[in-house]
Amino acid sequence: FKWEIWMGFHPISSMEHLHLHVLSADLYSPKMKSKKHYNSFHPSLGFFLHLKDVLSWFDAVPSYYQRMIKLDASQYQSLLKDGDLSCWQCDRALESMPKLKAHLQDEFSKLTTREKAKSERKRKCTNVPVSSVQAAVTDDERPEK
């Protein structure tokens, strides 16, 4: 099982030079220490601009491109300041970073367990011997003699 890797930009840069963020989708790294930092990567808050979305701006009609590149700093700042601390997978609100990170780790463990079980079922289905498949034919399915 492999989890997603996200790539994208922040509309309000924390550094002078252009840089691309590459991170795992679990979002419970020890480096994730504050609500503001977590919300800056929360996929549905709108602050994190996924690379594929930004690249699509270049393929759009010029008027759409011109509108999208005008990033309003005040609009994006309010997303970080006013956004709640909630799980990006289930939207459950949590009151602190330690509780959120424990919840995210639990969510990730559940996902890992589900995906491993799914892979195991798939593996078992593809390894069924031919004789087992033939034995499963019922009398109703046999041609009449």
Catalytic residues, which ones?
Answer: 19
Rounded Cα gap, residues 54 and 44, in angstroms: 15
Report which secondary-structure segment, H or E, holds 31: none
Rounded Cα gap, residues 139 and 145, in angstroms: 12
With beta carbons less than 8 A apart as the criterion, state whether 3 and 26 touch: yes
Report how far Cα 31 is from the mean position of its chain's Cα atoms. Answer: 18
Helix then strand then coil, % of the chain, to nearest 5: 50, 10, 40
How many other CB atoms sit within 10 Å of the CB of residue 132?
8
Rounded Cα gap, residues 6 and 67, in angstroms: 24
